[in-house]
């Protein structure tokens, strides 16, 4: 049963991945303006770079299917198209070359990806801890001032655009915490302890921004989940057994209430990524998000294409992981 | 419909409605109530750039020397326009898909829900970013993209509601007398789903406004229009270092104001439509989960039907 | 052993107190079982919950005493009350509900009850769990399973096993056979009977099913709209019901011996709690009513030794 469930999930993830990859290709070739052709004719590129691009992306070949060769009976040759070249490149990790600085997109992405991972990871961790704790307390003290305060703040932050919260924190923390970048230039040697402390200091505000926005959603959901759980019959049974309120909360209510949270966290990963883009922009955190913002401004399409693919694939895989995780912790799925 | 009178007893809803009214007023009467026309070209001197608030300019001036307060008022127009239009389109698509999927079931349902799942997994903002970056900027493009990414939640909601209505007596009776499907859906199922849709629509509008704000902030809004997101984009690039908070903060608070108003209204409406549920389905874990994810069969018996 | 005196319970709804239970009194003696009978909403569940002080937040015990071996449970602090729960009085909820935690193993849940009050170590606890499960007819290996892997009847038996964990004197059973099919019902009833004689349990059975009452119980308390209608031993109640409501209830129950007689039902509905009449609450639906009935609410009177009725026109 668990295997069945997982198989379906994996299958779906694979299909989604395929669709995303194909979509990514078409987005940049079919839509009006054909940016790759634009790329090709970009006067800023040197002749060698242009040749490189032409060969790599097969710009002289047909987009989808080589019908000429097909009608000539040449089946393998029929696949000689831009699309095949794209897949071929993709499998080798070749994502093209940036317009702006002629660096390979693949390199650019792998340089910066860990910074975004660090940010998102810290942010989500903080968000989960905050959200679960406050949600639990609010549900337990339902109807009291604590609950009302939590609800109010929760709704307020839910309505707040992520980037604006970042701006507010930026203004408030001016002078106290670093407000941009990942490190203060020249402060410490890369890799040293001071370096990482410096990174840490720069990480505080962006993480806080990401965390607060996510936490409000988690808090509201956790609260409602706990309230719902507390009205279930087995909680009454636990009370009838003579268990103390704390015991009931932690031994019975918590696990049940947290199960949907796993799913919710997976569901909202897409939003977290969107939030990361905003946060990195506001705080100039040099990750994938900031890269996207800069690339949009510079119309650096290869980078955009590559970054989008990376993000989409990450979210799809993260969702799959969450599904697997869920199947391992909910006994109703695990054993039947 | 009479239920909606209850709305006025809910303090959250009333506050939200008042807040929204303020913004609507500003949006509708913008040309008359704003002291300057923000679309007009102005002659400025160096001192006027990012000038702090004074008696003539309530919120000071922006990086081009224009009055911020007037821009704020005019910004309401586009934000509300985008919010309402995008939401309308996405509700329309979502309701149609949800009704069809829920009513007909089977392979059609499966197929449609796979599409919904697919769209749900792909991160919204990066996708919207990439589409607009390639396609080009413009108001209608933004509206279209936002609505094409936003209909999935409504679809799930409507589908789930349709499923539970489908088996009810009056539907079976209508089928027995030979009413065709289209008629049944439109005359019988839709009216029952409508209140729920309306509550969701309000929240959808807030999501659309936030989406437009984010896109504009990141530089993908319509450059010819004044929107709060665009203002923040300019402000962020030019006003932060100069600490011109009068340009930086008001648009953000305006967005917060509108969004909060809509959320308050939306949650109050939801409480009326579904008084059994004490919190909005958006904030209700098991409902959200059962709406969005296909629940594994063994757990389905235990989860409640929304 | 257990004596309830003049118990009154209110529910707060929008600030207004609703009188869900009024002046209910009864006794439960060692080894005997009592049935709490009535329509849905008559207050039997509320009364039952109040015995262990498990009322929801809106519920208030306004007055009365619940004497367990002389101790008034209503005077205890919450902490002291917890010691009595499960130890002296245990409760079995309907198995159809989510009365067992779906994400914890059955064995763990039973063991929790065992370990809470008796301080056994893990090995002893597991042993005890096995004993309990065997007592109710479930293979001990199934302690490792989860509630959703049990059938409805088995879940009910598991809950009974769990309730016996601390050797209680009194077992409260809340609709133990509702939502179970007839075969399983019989099994559960047999089990309860067996346990009653084996362990000397006193059972409080809350139900609306008179067939179960006839099989299992020694005394019957009939409730209507929050008040006692009639109270006596099972023979008297079934053969010589004095209250018109009791009569009607018995008539409404299908009789195997006369299958052709039409099934009687009682037309009308009990009064809503916010619109309780001044006089007798059953009066609108009663066939023996008079003007007195509408004006004055009848007190509970002992018309014969150990036979109590609240009716102006109680019949013999």
Q: List the subunits that have 3+ CB pairs under 8 angstroms with B.
A: A, C
CATH number of C86-207: 3.40.50.300
Question: Binning pLDDT at 50, 70 and 90, where does residue A123 land?
Answer: very high
- List the beta strands (DSSP E) in chain B: none
What's the whole-number average pLDDT of chain A? 81
**Chain C residues within 8 A of B301 when measuring between CB atoms:** 148
- pLDDT value of residue B298: 32
Q: List the subunits that have 3+ CB pairs under 8 angstroms with A.
A: B, C
Give the gap in angstroms from C-alpha B271 to the nearest C-alpha of chain C: 17
Q: How far apart are CA B38 and CA A213, in angstroms?
A: 32
Share of chain B above pLDDT 70, in %: 85
Question: Binning pLDDT at 50, 70 and 90, where does residue B84 land?
Answer: very high
Share of chain B above pLDDT 90, in %: 17
Residue at token pair 């367990």: C68
Nearest-CA residue of chain C relative to B302?
C98
Give the gap in angstroms from C-alpha A305 to the nearest C-alpha of chain B: 7
Q: pTM to 2 decimals?
A: 0.80
Give the gap in angstroms from C-alpha C89 to the nearest C-alpha of chain B: 29
* Residues C180, C191 contacting (CB under 8 angstroms): no
Q: What is the mean pLDDT of residues A58-80?
A: 64
Nearest-CA residue of chain A relative to B290?
A260
Nearest-CA residue of chain B relative to A155?
B260
Burial of B140 (0-12, 13-18, 19+ CB in 10 A): exposed
Answer with the residue of higher pLDDT: C128 or B276. C128
**Is A160 in contact with B259 (Cβ distance < 8 A)?**
yes
Nearest-CA residue of chain A relative to C117?
A242
Q: Which of C86, C117, C146 sits opposite A331 (nearest CB)?
A: C146
Element (H, E) at B98: helix B68-104
Answer with the residue of higher pLDDT: B179 or B197. B197
**Sign of the four-CA dihedral C140, C143, C148, C149:** negative
Is C207's pLDDT higher than 90? no
**Chain B residues within 8 A of A163 when measuring between CB atoms:** 214, 217, 232, 236
Nearest-CA residue of chain A relative to B244?
A171
- pLDDT value of residue A45: 61
Residue at token pair 């709704």: A155
- pLDDT value of residue B87: 92
Query: Which of A37-46, B7-16, B110-119, B230-239 has the lowest average pLDDT?
Result: A37-46
Q: How many residues does chain B have?
A: 306
- pLDDT value of residue B275: 59
Burial of C37 (0-12, 13-18, 19+ CB in 10 A): buried
CA atoms lying within 13 Å on the CB side of residue C205: 30
**Chain A residues within 8 A of B260 when measuring between CB atoms:** 155-156, 159
Angle between helix A269-283 and helix A301-329 axes, rounded to 10 deg: 140
Tell me which DSSP letter residue C228 carries: E
Q: What is the mean pLDDT of residues A131-155?
A: 86
**A147 in reach of chain C (CB within 8 A):** no
Which of the residues A144, A231, A236, A240 would you substitute to probe the C interface, choosing the one with the greatest number of C C-beta atoms within 10 Å?
A240
What's the whole-number average pLDDT of chain B? 80
Q: Domain for residue B260, yes or no?
A: yes
Q: Which of A28, A299, A336 sits opposite B298 (nearest CB)?
A: A336
Is B145's pLDDT higher than 70? yes
- pLDDT value of residue B89: 93
**Chain A residues within 8 A of C117 when measuring between CB atoms:** 242
Is C177's pLDDT higher than 90? no
- pLDDT value of residue A210: 94
- pLDDT value of residue A36: 55
Q: How far apart are CA A151 and CA B280, in angstroms?
A: 12
Which of the residues B302, B303, B304 would you substitute to probe the C interface, choosing the one with the greatest number of C C-beta atoms within 10 Å?
B302
Residue at token pair 């008034």: C72
- pLDDT value of residue A80: 65
Please give the backbone phi and psi of residue C262, each rounded to the nearest 5 degrees, phi first: -70, 150
- pLDDT value of residue B70: 85
Q: How far apart are CA B82 and CA B79, in angstroms?
A: 5
Give the gap in angstroms from C-alpha C148 to the nearest C-alpha of chain B: 8
Please give the backbone phi and psi of residue C198, each rounded to the nearest 5 degrees, phi first: -65, -45
Is B258's pLDDT higher than 90? yes
Q: How far apart are CA C38 and CA C296, in angstroms?
A: 22
Q: How far apart are CA B133 and CA B129, in angstroms?
A: 6
Q: List the subunits that have 3+ CB pairs under 8 angstroms with C.
A: A, B
**Is A307 in contact with B210 (Cβ distance < 8 A)?**
no
Q: What is the mean pLDDT of residues C165-180?
A: 84
**Chain B residues within 8 A of C102 when measuring between CB atoms:** 302
Burial of C239 (0-12, 13-18, 19+ CB in 10 A): exposed
Is B300's pLDDT higher than 50? no
Every domain of chain C and the residues it spans:
86-207
Q: Of the candidates C148, C146, C143, C149, which has an alpha carbon nearest to the alpha carbon of residue C131?
A: C143
- pLDDT value of residue C236: 86
Query: Which of A45-59, A272-286, C7-21, C165-179 has the lowest average pLDDT?
Result: A45-59
Inter-chain Cβ pairs, chain B and chain C, closer than 8 A: 5
**B255 in reach of chain A (CB within 8 A):** yes
- pLDDT value of residue A120: 93
- pLDDT value of residue B295: 37
Give the total number of structural domains in chain B.
1
Is A310's pLDDT higher than 70? yes
- pLDDT value of residue B257: 93
Q: How far apart are CA C91 and CA C171, in angstroms?
A: 6
Most confident of A96-110, A114-128, A220-234, C286-300: A114-128
CATH number where B192 lies? 1.10.3720.10
Q: How far apart are CA C93 and CA C89, in angstroms?
A: 13
Give the gap in angstroms from C-alpha B302 to the nearest C-alpha of chain C: 8
- pLDDT value of residue B296: 35
Which of the residues B116, B133, B294 would you substitute to probe the A interface, choosing the one with the greatest number of A C-beta atoms within 10 Å?
B133
**Is A233 in contact with C112 (Cβ distance < 8 A)?**
no
Is C149's pLDDT higher than 60? yes
Is A65's pLDDT higher than 70? no
ipTM for the predicted complex: 0.85
Give the gap in angstroms from C-alpha B233 to the nearest C-alpha of chain A: 10
**Is A242 in contact with C93 (Cβ distance < 8 A)?**
no
- pLDDT value of residue B261: 92
- Residues with Cβ within 8 Å of B210's Cβ and at least 6 positions away in sequence, in order, are A161, B255, B259
**Chain A residues within 8 A of C146 when measuring between CB atoms:** 331-332, 335
**C103 in reach of chain B (CB within 8 A):** no
**Is C91 in contact with A255 (Cβ distance < 8 A)?**
no
Nearest-CA residue of chain C relative to A253?
C101
**C101 in reach of chain B (CB within 8 A):** no
**B50 in reach of chain A (CB within 8 A):** no
Query: Which of A184-193, B230-239, C236-245 has the lowest average pLDDT?
Result: A184-193
**A249 in reach of chain C (CB within 8 A):** no
Answer with the residue of higher pLDDT: B217 or A249. B217
- pLDDT value of residue B144: 92
Is A119's pLDDT higher than 90? yes
Q: What is the mean pLDDT of residues A74-101?
A: 71
Nearest-CA residue of chain A relative to B241?
A171
**Is A33 in contact with B130 (Cβ distance < 8 A)?**
no
What's the whole-number average pLDDT of chain C? 84
Is C131's pLDDT higher than 70? yes
**C151 in reach of chain B (CB within 8 A):** no
Share of chain C above pLDDT 90, in %: 3
The total of other beta-carbon atoms located within 10 Å of residue A92's CB is 9
Tell me which DSSP letter residue C199 carries: H
Give the gap in angstroms from C-alpha A80 to the nearest C-alpha of chain B: 25
**Chain C residues within 8 A of B298 when measuring between CB atoms:** 148
Domain that holds residue B160: 10-38+47-279
**Is B134 in contact with A1 (Cβ distance < 8 A)?**
no
**Is A327 in contact with B296 (Cβ distance < 8 A)?**
yes
Q: What is the mean pLDDT of residues C155-163?
A: 89
Nearest-CA residue of chain C relative to A143?
C57
Q: Domain for residue B207, yes or no?
A: yes
- pLDDT value of residue B301: 30
**Is B136 in contact with A33 (Cβ distance < 8 A)?**
yes
**Is A233 in contact with C113 (Cβ distance < 8 A)?**
no
């Amino acid at each position: 049963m668990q295997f069945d469930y997982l198989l379906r999930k994996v299958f779906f993830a694979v299909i989604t991945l395929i669709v995303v990859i194909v979509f990514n290709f078409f987005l940049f070739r079919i839509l009006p303006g054909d940016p790759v052709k634009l790329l090709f004719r970009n006067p800023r590129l040197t002749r060698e770079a242009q040749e490189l691009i032409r060969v790599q992306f097969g710009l002289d070949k047909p987009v989808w299917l080589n019908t000429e060769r097909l009608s000539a009976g040449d089946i393998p040759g029929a696949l000689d198209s831009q699309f095949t070249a794209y897949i071929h490149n993709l499998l080798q990790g070749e994502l093209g070359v940036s317009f702006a600085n002629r660096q390979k997109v693949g390199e650019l992405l792998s340089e910066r990806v860990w910074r975004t991972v660090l940010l998102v990871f810290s942010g989500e961790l903080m968000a989960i801890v905050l959200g679960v704790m406050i949600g639990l307390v609010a549900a337990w003290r339902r109807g009291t001032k604590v609950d009302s305060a939590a609800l109010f703040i929760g709704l307020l932050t839910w309505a707040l655009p992520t980037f604006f919260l970042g701006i507010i924190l930026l203004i408030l923390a001016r002078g106290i915490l670093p407000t941009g970048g990942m490190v203060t230039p020249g402060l410490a040697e890369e890799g040293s302890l001071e370096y990482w402390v410096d990174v840490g200091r720069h990480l505080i505000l962006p993480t806080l921004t990401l965390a607060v926005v996510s936490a409000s959603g988690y808090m509201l959901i956790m609260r409602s989940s706990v309230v719902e759980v507390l009205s279930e019959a087995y909680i009454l049974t636990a009370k009838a057994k003579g268990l103390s309120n704390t015991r009931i909360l932690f031994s019975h209510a918590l696990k049940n209430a947290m199960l949907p949270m796993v799913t919710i966290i997976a569901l909202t990963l897409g939003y977290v990524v969107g939030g990361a883009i905003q946060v990195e922009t506001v705080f100039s955190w040099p990750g994938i998000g900031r890269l996207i913002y800069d690339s949009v401004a510079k119309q650096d399409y290869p980078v955009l294409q590559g970054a989008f693919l990376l993000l989409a694939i990450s979210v799809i895989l993260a969702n799959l992981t969450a599904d697997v995780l869920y199947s391992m912790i909910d006994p109703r799925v695990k054993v039947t | 419909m009479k239920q909606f009178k209850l709305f006025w007893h809910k303090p959250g809803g009333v506050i939200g409605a008042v807040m929204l009214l303020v913004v609507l007023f500003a949006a509708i009467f913008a040309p008359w109530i704003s002291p300057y026309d923000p679309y007009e070209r102005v002659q400025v001197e160096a001192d006027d750039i990012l000038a702090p608030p004074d008696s003539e300019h309530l919120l000071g001036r922006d990086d081009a020397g224009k009055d911020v307060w007037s821009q704020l008022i005019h910004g309401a127009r586009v934000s509300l326009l985008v919010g309402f239009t995008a939401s309308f389109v996405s509700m329309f698509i979502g309701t149609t898909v949800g009704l069809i999927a829920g009513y007909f079931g089977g392979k059609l349902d499966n197929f449609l829900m796979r599409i919904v799942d697919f769209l749900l997994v792909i991160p919204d903002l990066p996708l919207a970013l990439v589409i607009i970056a390639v396609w080009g900027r413009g108001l209608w493009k933004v509206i279209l993209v936002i609505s094409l990414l936003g209909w999935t939640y409504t679809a799930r909601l409507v589908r789930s509601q349709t499923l539970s209505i489908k088996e009810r007596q009056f539907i079976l009776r209508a089928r027995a007398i030979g009413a065709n499907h289209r008629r049944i859906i439109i005359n019988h199922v839709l009216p029952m789903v409508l209140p729920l849709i309306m509550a969701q629509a309000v929240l959808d509008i807030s999501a659309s406004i936030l989406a437009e704000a984010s896109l504009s902030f990141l530089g993908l809004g319509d450059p010819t229009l004044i929107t709060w997101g665009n203002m923040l984009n300019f402000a962020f690039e030019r006003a932060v270092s100069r600490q011109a908070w009068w340009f930086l903060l008001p648009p953000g608070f305006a967005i917060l104001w509108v969004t909060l108003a809509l959320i308050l209204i939306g949650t109050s409406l939801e409480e009326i439509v579904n008084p059994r549920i004490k919190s909005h389905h958006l904030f209700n874990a098991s409902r959200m989960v059962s709406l969005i994810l296909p629940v594994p069969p063994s757990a389905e018996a235990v989860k409640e039907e929304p | 052993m257990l004596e309830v005196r003049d118990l009154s319970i209110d529910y707060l709804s929008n600030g207004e107190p609703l009188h869900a239970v009024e002046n209910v009194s009864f006794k439960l003696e060692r080894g005997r079982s009592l049935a709490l009978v009535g329509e849905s909403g008559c207050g039997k569940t509320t009364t039952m919950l109040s015995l262990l002080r498990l009322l929801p937040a809106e519920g208030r015990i306004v007055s009365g005493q619940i004497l367990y071996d002389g101790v008034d449970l209503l005077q205890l602090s919450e902490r002291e009350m917890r010691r009595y729960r499960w130890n002296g009085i245990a409760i079995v909820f309907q198995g159809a509900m989510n009365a067992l935690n779906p994400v914890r193993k059955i064995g763990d849940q039973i063991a929790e009850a065992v370990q809470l009050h008796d301080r056994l170590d893990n090995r002893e606890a597991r042993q005890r769990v096995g004993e309990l499960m065997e007592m109710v007819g479930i293979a001990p290996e199934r302690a490792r399973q989860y509630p959703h892997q049990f059938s409805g009847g088995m879940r009910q038996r598991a809950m009974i096993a769990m309730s016996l964990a601390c050797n209680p004197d009194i077992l409260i059973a809340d609709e133990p056979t509702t939502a179970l099919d007839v075969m399983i019902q019989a099994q559960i009833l047999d089990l309860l009977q067996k346990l009653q004689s084996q362990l000397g349990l006193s059972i409080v059975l809350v139900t609306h099913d008179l067939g179960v009452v006839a099989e299992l119980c020694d005394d019957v308390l009939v409730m209507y709209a929050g008040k006692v209608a009639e109270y006596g031993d099972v023979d008297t109640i079934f053969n010589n019901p004095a209250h018109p409501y009791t009569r009607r209830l018995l008539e409404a129950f299908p009789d195997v011996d006369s299958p052709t007689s039409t099934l009687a039902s009682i037309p009308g509905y009990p009064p809503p709690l916010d619109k309780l009449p001044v006089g007798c609450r059953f009066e609108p639906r009663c066939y023996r009513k008079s003007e007195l009935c509408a004006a004055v609410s009848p007190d509970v009177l002992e018309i014969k030794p150990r036979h109590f009725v609240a009716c102006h026109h109680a019949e013999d």
